Structure 1
Amino acid sequence: MQNVSNSVQPSKPFGNPRMPRVVLAGLSGGSGKTILSLGLCRALARSGLAVRPFKKGPDYIDAKWLGLAARATACNLDPHLMPPALLPMLFADRMAGFDLAVVEGNRGIFDGRDVQGTLSTAELSRQLKAPVILVLDCTKMTRTAAAIVAGIAAFEPGLQLAGVVCNRTAGERHRSILRGAIEEYTDVPVLGMLPKLSENPIPERHMGLWSDQELAKDVDAALDRLADMVASSCDLQAVRAVAESAPLPPVPEGAPVMLWPEPLPLPRKPRIGVVQDAALWFYYPENIEALERAGAEIARVSILSSEPWPELHGLYLGGGFPETHAETLAANVDVRERVRGLSEAGMPVYAECGGFMYLARHLEYQGQAWPMAGVFPVSTRLCSRPQGLGYIEAEAVRDTPFFRAGERIAGHEFHYSACCLDGPSPNLDFALRVERGSGMHAGQDGLMHKRTFAGYTHIHALGTRDWAPNFVRAAAEYAGIIRQPESV
């Protein structure tokens, strides 16, 4: 497929200057934040509001579902992946033209990287000056709910706990006691009482929710059912009032200019192919936009389809679920050979996680080894437990087309696959030393072959500021638009 984008429009002026916004937080993962977030986004969108969804933390799947629910692309906000000063800038930039923001938190409200709660949902809410609605799983709980709400409200200074939604309530008597206890012992208003669901309309698996592309059901109908449930169980007008109570956001003057990389002075645009199909679709939208803003033309291509590709000067393979499409990927021999040939020809190729799995020799899944593109002399094997989970801090140990030696890289990983060495001592060239996280092998990540980079590390282009300009420059060199240096 050749859906080619030739240019990026300048950022619109910031929309509603107040940017009504609310953060949905829970006590832990699995508390019901995502169900409420999806139902709320769809219910508010159906009421005629332009809702921009945000997801706190490094998450592709929940963000995709939030975008489907709101009918607007979701944006990730992560204080590890980008400097804190950029978070309100990105938030404001993405809010242009939208009426209200719903920010879904992650993990427990105060859970962060350390005992101080660094990088927590509560910290993000303070950075955005956003009120918080707590989603509380009230299974087999009544009066204790009030103690939990009171404790959350008083635990950290600066937290604006503006409401609570009780989840998994068992009936009218249960709801009456919960509401009465919370109203009696706290000043936090109860904004809703969600019932127990006999079945999750959007089932989960090892990496979270199933993707919309893999569900054999009507996705819109499932989201509408969640919206109906939320609309009948929550006070939507009160939720809107909470969002509209947010003060003016902390946005510095000239933020759109400061947010994005400067375009390279090129006589013409190199074309970078971005693989986007059911096998590989984990991308931060800002990564692709940063490539465009740095001077690239983007062509969306597929490794599942046999359709021809346009002429490319660079290739970006994101993460995804190549294992569930392993048979189709293996059978598409022409594309596997095409990708290997482009790598051998010296094209700059950048691959993250699932993209790396595709560039390996084999992908072992459910007892069968499927041939992949074979750029690297390693294989990957799907395991029953995560092989890498959480934030990554790494240092580039050599120059590459994408990073320079000594550059510090903040990223994340979430993979059930393991990198398996083919043979006793294959000749492997790693570009990253992992100081926090797992990576590929023995504290290393970022395999290099010619001008191809592949790793388990996911980065965000607005935090790893030089990645997009470096990638575009390398593509321009490959295209002959500018002279290619002898090194890297």
Structure 2
Amino acid sequence: MHKTHELPRLILAGLSGGAGKTIVSLGLCRAFSRSGKSIRPFKKGPDYIDAAWLSLAAGNTAANLDSYFMSDDCVRALFIERMRGFEAGIVEGNRGLFDGMDSEGSMSTASLARCLEAPLILVVDATKMTRTAAAIIQGVAGFEPGLNLAGVILNRTAGPRHRKILRESIERYTSIPVLGTLPKIADNPIPERHMGLWSNREMDGAAILDPLADIIADNVDLDRIQSIADAAPPLAAPDYTLWPEAQGLGEAVIGVVKDEAFWFYYPENIEALERAGATIRTVSLLDSAPWPELDGLYIGGGFPETLAERLSANTAALERVRSLSRAGMPIYAECGGFMYLARSIEYQDRTYPMAGVFPLDTRLCERPKGLGYIQARVESDTAFYKAGETIHGHEFHYSCCSSQPDEEELHFSFKINRGSGIHNGRDGLTVNNTLAGYSHIHALSVPKWAPRFVAAASKFRKARNAE
């Protein structure tokens, strides 16, 4: 008999992207947090920026739940672990409620709701719509069995008369309660750009989130929403072990680059390194602060292009990374980190020299060059992967190689079966013990990644200390 957990929870979904679920999710998290409730936010799917905003809104770190990376048992186990000590969990869905990997809706927000047995609140963009909203909601409620559609929040309503007709229509023709009606917000509080929303590192988060929370508190029935979350059924813990047992891999200090340019990391990736025995030290590639002695380096994604001038001007950091790579230190770089390790970044008609670990150049393009889930086959052994393994990850980049890569000079360790990668269906550039590419991974999807990283770092440490 598996242990069950009483976990108040709900999922917010939309009919499509742009319905307003992010704004509602942020406002709800902030409103509940201001009232003294401890909220754990979650983001469905591979996303760093929305997750960062949710973390700021709730005052607690968000976790990503993704069925492409994780089995249903893994999703439930992670959710239960992350909910420990919290009063409620709020999950922001992605895309449209039933939109998934195929016509069956696999890996959709609806499938996540069933996996977590979570009540679902639908955010509906009611622009230029009245009675039709009732038909849509009725269709959603009956589209898939096992979906607990507990209520709707109507977004972008035009005024009192519009709201009145909407509410009366939905209450007359459906059994789904209207939990709130939101006015149109004149200006988008969080504007978008090439990678999605502007990040909370570049805007005054409190100045944005508190007014959103005010709008939610004034126009949504928070008590009723809390009651819906409280009514979620007990969730049975699966027979699943999230983290590999510690293997005594030796001492290792791994630097994680966290600054304005590089901050795309899943918290579980950092935790996996720590559980494998690493001591984590945060370092920056933007300032001149000295680094501690490191045995490994992790450079995540982010926005190196918008800060390329500062990165390029910090020649001491560029030389340090070049030297560490040549010395054989294990370095793992994802997306923006790969761009930093290239020779240069071209952005807005200017070219900025970078670390030059790999002899190729990158430039930012007007349209995405890689977007979505990836599946890669490892073709050669590295410090992090073994030949023959399959990696499930994701990519989202507007940059590409601006120079034609010399495939004889470069060594790609990944063959991309789904996705784009760096060049010609290849990714995972390697030199010495450095691996870089456009692929992002989640540690729970590749459980051997962190132990191997730590083992390689420990080996490097021992070799250095023996000199």
Normalised to the residue count of structure 2, the TM-score between the two structures is 0.97
The alignment status of 1:259 with 2:242, answered yes or no, reads yes
Instruction: Tell me by how many angstroms 1:419 deviates.
Output: 2.1
1:289 corresponds to which of 266, 271, 276: 271
SS at match of 2:32: helix
1:311 corresponds to which of 265, 281, 293: 293
1:426-460 deviation line (CA, Å, top 9, x unaligned): 51100111111111111111000111000100000
SS at match of 2:441: coil
SS at match of 2:307: helix
**CA distance, structure 2, for counterparts of residue 210 and residue 353 of structure 1:** 18
447 and 475 in structure 1: CA distance in 2 versus 1, 3 angstrom threshold: same
Instruction: Tell me by how many angstroms 1:219 deviates.
Output: 1.5
Residue type at the aligned position of 2:243: W
Structure 2 equivalent of residue 10 of structure 1: none
Q: Is the 8 A contact 1:128 1:250 kept in 2?
A: no
Q: Is the 8 A contact 1:377 1:421 kept in 2?
A: no
The alignment status of 1:99 with 2:87, answered yes or no, reads yes
**CA distance, structure 1, for counterparts of residue 395 and residue 154 of structure 2:** 32
Structure 2 equivalent of residue 7 of structure 1: none
Residue type at the aligned position of 1:108: G
The alignment status of 1:374 with 2:349, answered yes or no, reads no
Structure 1 equivalent of residue 126 of structure 2: 138
The alignment status of 1:443 with 2:425, answered yes or no, reads yes
Residue type at the aligned position of 1:234: V
Structure 2 equivalent of residue 220 of structure 1: 206
Structure 2 equivalent of residue 462 of structure 1: 444
Q: Is the 8 A contact 1:42 1:224 kept in 2?
A: yes
Structure 2 equivalent of residue 87 of structure 1: 75
Q: Is the 8 A contact 1:23 1:130 kept in 2?
A: yes
2:217 corresponds to which of 220, 231, 241: 231
Identity in percent: 61
SS at match of 2:440: coil
Residue type at the aligned position of 2:128: K
**CA distance, structure 2, for counterparts of residue 402 and residue 324 of structure 1:** 29
Q: Is the 8 A contact 1:477 1:483 kept in 2?
A: no
Matching of residues 396-415 of structure 1 within 5 Å: 396-415=378-397
**CA distance, structure 2, for counterparts of residue 262 and residue 285 of structure 1:** 18
Instruction: Tell me by how many angstroms 1:425 deviates.
Output: 5.4
Residue type at the aligned position of 1:264: Q
The alignment status of 1:453 with 2:435, answered yes or no, reads yes
The alignment status of 1:340 with 2:322, answered yes or no, reads yes
Structure 2 equivalent of residue 241 of structure 1: 227
Instruction: Tell me by how many angstroms 1:421 deviates.
Output: 3.5
Residue type at the aligned position of 2:423: H
Residue type at the aligned position of 1:243: A
Structure 1 equivalent of residue 365 of structure 2: 383
Structure 2 equivalent of residue 21 of structure 1: 9
Structure 2 equivalent of residue 5 of structure 1: none
The alignment status of 1:277 with 2:259, answered yes or no, reads yes
**CA distance, structure 1, for counterparts of residue 279 and residue 405 of structure 2:** 40
1:354-385 deviation line (CA, Å, top 9, x unaligned): 00000000000000110000000111110000
Normalised to the residue count of structure 1, the TM-score between the two structures is 0.93
In the alignment, structure 2 segments of 5+ residues that lack a partner are none
When the two structures are aligned, how many residues end up with a matched partner?
464
251 and 482 in structure 1: CA distance in 2 versus 1, 3 angstrom threshold: farther
Structure 2 equivalent of residue 4 of structure 1: none
SS at match of 2:275: helix
**CA distance, structure 1, for counterparts of residue 358 and residue 245 of structure 2:** 33
**CA distance, structure 2, for counterparts of residue 243 and residue 59 of structure 1:** 24
The alignment status of 1:355 with 2:329, answered yes or no, reads no
Kindly report the root-mean-square deviation, in angstroms, between the aligned alpha carbons of the 2 structures.
1.6
Q: Is the 8 A contact 2:9 2:90 kept in 1?
A: yes
SS at match of 2:394: strand
SS at match of 2:355: coil
